[in-house]
Amino acid sequence: MSRAASFDALRAAVAAMEAGGAPAKAALSFGDIRLDRVFPAGGLPLGCWHELGGEGLEIETGAAAGAFAAVLAMPLASRGAVVWVSRRDDLYAPGLAGLGFPAERLIQVQARDEAQALAALEDALGAAGVAAAIGEAEAVDLTVGRRLQLACERRGATGFLIRRRLFGAPPGKAAPGGPPATAGSAAATRWTVAPSPSEPAPGMPGLGVPRWRVDLKRCRGGRPGSWILEMNDGAYPLRVVTQLGDRQLETAQPQAPSIWRRAG
């Protein structure tokens, strides 16, 4: 290990201790030190839950955050089932297949309201045989967030909460009488995800591999950062195209298809 890598590992360990505990033992490596070093365990912590969302229209569609959550959950599917709890019936199976997600490992659950969606997500995270669970909700208050974390710890499952508001619903509430959208949570990480133009391979017109601009807003025991990431067909699900702040790599190319089914 180089001196720089050793220093990064030491700094992450100190940050974790300052946050109240030792570095997590289980983590999903991104295979790139530019990403891995921001997390105390050298990768996305497992056995806890993560919050992902977008801005503007993405608050309602959840397209970029949903695809990104699916890619993060993909490596975990080899360990058990992946449960997806949604409020609508627009999850598009061919879109997931296009990302390489193993459909045979997916269990879909549709909830009637926000409270039921969060309860189903909690039940899924604590169930035997579930490696990961993905849920859709506009907001999670601190009490519910702690319950989700306890469910993750029960059997070591990893959760992904997509912040998604129902189409046409007024902002600021998760549901009628629900918690404010600005309420705190117990999420291990909080991300903002946006689509980023793809870049076709040389001599191959059309779409390139999917890309996302991701901003890690909060990381317990770690530090935030911003990157453009793209799908990777190697040992790791994602690779860094560029670390924002170093240089911008944006080209005007069409986007990859959504994982959501279009209405009508």
pLDDT for the residue numbered 246 = 46
Alpha-carbon distance of 198 to 251, in angstroms, equals: 7
What confidence tens digit (pLDDT) does each residue in 245-262 have? 544 444 433 444 566 565
Alpha-carbon distance of 16 to 39, in angstroms, equals: 9
25-243 architecture in CATH?
3-Layer(aba) Sandwich (3.40)
Helix, strand, coil shares, percent, the chain, to 5: 30, 25, 45
Report the 10 Å Cβ neighbour count for 55.
Answer: 11
Please tell me the number of Cα atoms within 13 Å of 39 on its side-chain side: 24
Tell me the residue type at 154. Answer: R
Residue 103 DSSP symbol: G
Report the 10 Å Cβ neighbour count for 128.
Answer: 9
Torsion 29-64-247-244 (CA) sign: negative
What's the burial of 60, exposed, middle or buried (CB within 10 Å: 0-12/13-18/19+)? Answer: middle
What confidence tens digit (pLDDT) does each residue in 56-74 have? 877 888 889 999 999 999 9
Percentage of the chain exceeding pLDDT 90: 48
pLDDT for the residue numbered 201 = 72
Q: Which residues of the chain are under the pLDDT cut of 50?
A: 1-24, 174-183, 246-256, 264
Query: Any residues with CB less than 8 A from the CB of 17 and at least 6 apart, and which?
Result: none
Please provide the distance, in angstroms rounded to a whole number, between the alpha carbons at the two ends of the chain. 55
**Alpha helices, DSSP H only, in 110-186?**
114-125, 142-155
pLDDT for the residue numbered 260 = 55
Cβ–Cβ < 8 Å for 210, 231: yes
Phi–psi pair at 16, nearest 5 degrees? -65, -40
Kindly report the pTM of this predicted structure: 0.78
Listed residue (70, 4, 62, 23) closest to 222, CA to CA: 23
Alpha-carbon distance of 40 to 36, in angstroms, equals: 8
Angle of the 142-155 helix axis to the 114-125 helix axis, nearest 10: 30
